[in-house]
């Protein structure tokens, strides 16, 4: 009986093990089936594939979509995978992924943690979008960008574009970009930085190959000089939506490379000859939506010797631009597009710029006074030919011209504007004519005669008053010694 009991017990244990194995196998197959049930949208073009896994309620990434796994990796050069708007909270170490240029997007998730070496298996990643998540400065550590571990050293990854916009970053780790030597574009916009502290400055300046830097809407009001000390290749910077009251002087350090500056929606009241000093390579400038900007002063744009496009729009209080704002640039003009739309301007100087050399001119939504100067700019200097067909400005004054297109105004009382100048000629005696000599002699004689008459009148007046004074004097003088002798 004991023997039968032991056999039964052994058989029962065997059955339990088999049941557990069946459960595990079923679970694995269930997970596999669940993974396969998430289908993504795929677009394939030659050696490029784009996979969209957006809005799939994915909360973690343990394997790549089956559409990617089914690809012959040897035929694909570029792979783009987007997990836009899912529920991912933690980016764990991603599985290996072939491809020479890999782009990953995790925009609009709930990411609040990124594990160390998260991208080491996809070290050929060139673009990473982590925008609109819950990432803080404490989460961003240099370890998360470590490449493959080899010879007791962590390697680098190929990352070129990093988007960290719309997160909760107050500060950056000093060594954040230690393993991303190829980083060329960094987007930090819409983070509550408030100030660029010492470690953040060191982090940004360490990305020595940066070409694009977006610091818009980060609540900063200054940029320390050291920020740009090593950024010799910076071409584009966006400083919009901050608290600057002047254009940062530190931009001078990137004047040899900076080509585009966007400086919208700040607290500046004026632009002057110090605003853009040193920005000799700048080609495009945008200064718009500045609520407090009142005037553009003399020589403001003089340092911008290569400027091609100027946006000076949507500044509701801007009512004055100095006629010398482009001083020194008119003889070597490079600007092709100027946009002055939606300001509070009413007049412009005729010699503000060489209007005929522009290709596009925008002036709509201002309070234009249609006077002789404007008629000269639009007609004589051909600025009217530079407006886009649907962007022709209208007159605000005088009343009889209100609402009329400025290209239609004809002011008959305006003087003729002569833009021609005769060359200067040296003077010689042969240029004199007889009447000129006679008039000159007559003029000199007249001056001499008048001077003599005035002199005679002065002398006569002096003698007359002296005589009158003597005759009116009643004081008699006597010799005191003679009076004593007589006595």
Tokens of 359: 């290709």
C-alpha radius of gyration, the chain, whole number: 42
> By the 8 A CB rule, do 228 and 253 touch?
yes
Kindly state whether residue 290 falls inside one of the protein's structural domains: no
Pure H helices in 225-331: none
**How far apart, in whole angstroms, are the C-alpha atoms of residue 221 and residue 229?**
19
Bond preceding residue 203 cis, omega within 30 of 0: no
The pLDDT of residue 412: 74
Pairing verdict, β 185-187 and 212-214 = parallel
d(CA 219, CA 370): 41
pLDDT at site 72: 62
Tokens representing 1 are 């009986």
Q: What are phi and psi of 449, to 5 degrees?
A: -60, -45
The CA distance from 23 to 29, in Å, is: 10
What sign has the CA pseudo-torsion 65, 67, 71, 77?
A: negative
Give 369's contacts (C-beta < 8 A, 6+ positions apart).
Answer: 346, 347, 395, 396, 397, 398
Predicted confidence at residue 286, as pLDDT, reads 98
> Structural domain of residue 217, as residue ranges?
40-234
Q: How many whole angstroms separate alpha carbon 24 and alpha carbon 362? A: 70
Residues 6+ apart with CB under 8 A from 159: 119, 125, 126, 127, 128, 145, 180, 182, 183
Residue 376 sits at φ, ψ, to 5 deg, of -65, -45
Residues of the chain with pLDDT under 70: 1-38, 70-75, 413, 415-437, 469-487
Q: Counting every residue, how long is the chain?
A: 487
**Element housing 125 (H / E):** strand 125-129
Instruction: Compute the CA torsion angle 371, 377, 378, 379 (nearest 10 deg).
Output: 100
Rounded CA gap, 154 and 138, in Å?
A: 21
What's residue 283's pLDDT?
98
User: Are the C-beta atoms of 118 and 91 separated by less than 8 Å?
Assistant: yes
On whether residue 146 sits in a domain, the answer given is yes
pLDDT in the model for residue 284: 98
Triad 136, 137, 141: Cα angle to 5°: 115
| Domain membership flag for residue 102 | yes
Residue 17 lies in a domain: no
Whether 268 and 294 have beta carbons less than 8 Å apart is answered as: no
Inside any domain, residue 260: no
Q: Encoding tokens for residue 203?
A: 């982090």
Q: In angstroms, how far apart are the furthest CA atoms of the chain?
A: 193
Does residue 148 belong to any structural domain of this protein?
A: yes
Residue 314 located in a structural domain: no
Residue 28: per-residue pLDDT: 43
Supply the DSSP symbol for 73: G
Q: Output the pLDDT for position 30.
A: 40
Count the domains in the chain.
Answer: 1
Contact 239, 263 (CB under 8 A): yes
Q: Which of 388, 395, 400 lies closest to 374, judged by CA? A: 395
From CA 44, how far away is CA 295, in angstroms rounded?
53
Residue 261, beta-bridge partner list: 237, 285
Three-state DSSP at 389 gives: coil
Residue 153 belongs to domain with CATH number: 3.80.10.10
360 φ, ψ (degrees, to nearest 5): -135, 135
Residue 417 lies in a domain: no
């Amino acid at each position: 009986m004991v023997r039968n009991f032991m056999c039964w017990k052994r058989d029962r244990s065997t059955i339990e093990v088999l049941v557990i194995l069946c459960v595990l196998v079923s679970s694995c197959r269930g997970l596999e089936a669940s993974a396969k049930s998430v289908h993504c949208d795929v677009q394939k073009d030659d050696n490029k594939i784009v996979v969209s896994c957006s809005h799939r309620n994915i909360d973690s990434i343990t394997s790549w979509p089956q559409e990617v796994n089914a690809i012959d990796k040897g035929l694909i050069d570029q792979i783009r995978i987007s997990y836009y708007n899912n529920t991912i909270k933690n980016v764990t170490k991603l599985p290996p992924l072939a491809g020479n240029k890999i782009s990953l997007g995790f925009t609009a998730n709930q990411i609040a943690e990124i594990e160390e070496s998260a991208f080491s298996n996809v070290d050929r990643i060139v673009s990473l979008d982590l925008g609109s998540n819950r990432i803080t400065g404490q989460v961003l550590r240099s370890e998360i960008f470590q490449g493959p571990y080899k010879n007791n050293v962590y390697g680098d990854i190929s990352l070129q574009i990093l988007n960290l916009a719309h997160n909760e970053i107050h500060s950056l780790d000093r060594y954040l970009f230690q393993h991303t030597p190829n980083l060329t574009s960094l987007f930090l916009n819409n983070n509550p930085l408030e100030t660029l502290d010492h470690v953040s400055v060191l982090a940004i300046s360490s990305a020595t190959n940066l070409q694009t830097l977006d610091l818009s809407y980060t609540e900063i009001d200054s940029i320390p000089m050291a920020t740009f000390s090593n950024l010799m290749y910076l071409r584009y910077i966006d400083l919009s939506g901050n608290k600057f009251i002047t254009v940062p002087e530190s931009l001078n350090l990137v004047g040899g490379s900076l080509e585009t500056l966007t400086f919208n929606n700040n607290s500046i009241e004026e632009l002057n000859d110090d605003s853009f000093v040193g920005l000799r390579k700048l080609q495009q400038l945008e200064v718009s939506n500045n609520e407090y900007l009142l005037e553009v002063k003399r020589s403001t744009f003089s340092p911008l010797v290569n400027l091609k496009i100027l946006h000076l729009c949507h500044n509701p209080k801007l009512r004055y631009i100095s006629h010398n704002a482009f001083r020194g640039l008119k003889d070597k003009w490079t600007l092709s597009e100027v946009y002055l739309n939606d300001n509070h301007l009413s007049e412009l100087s005729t010699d503000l710029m060489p209007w005929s050399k522009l290709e596009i001119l925008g002036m709509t939504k201002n309070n234009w006074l249609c006077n002789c100067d404007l008629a000269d700019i639009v007609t004589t200097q051909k600025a009217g030919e530079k407006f886009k067909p649907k962007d022709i400005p209208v007159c605000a004054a005088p009343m009889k011209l209100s609402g009329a297109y400025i290209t239609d105004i004809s002011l008959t009382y305006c003087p003729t504007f002569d833009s021609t100048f005769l060359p200067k000629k040296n003077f010689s005696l042969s240029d004199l004519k007889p009447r000129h000599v006679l008039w000159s002699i007559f003029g000199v004689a007249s001056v001499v005669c008048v001077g003599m008459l005035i002199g005679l009148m002065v002398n006569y007046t002096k003698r007359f008053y002296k005589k009158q004074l003597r005759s009116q004097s009643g004081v008699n003088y006597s010799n005191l010694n003679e009076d004593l002798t007589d006595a």
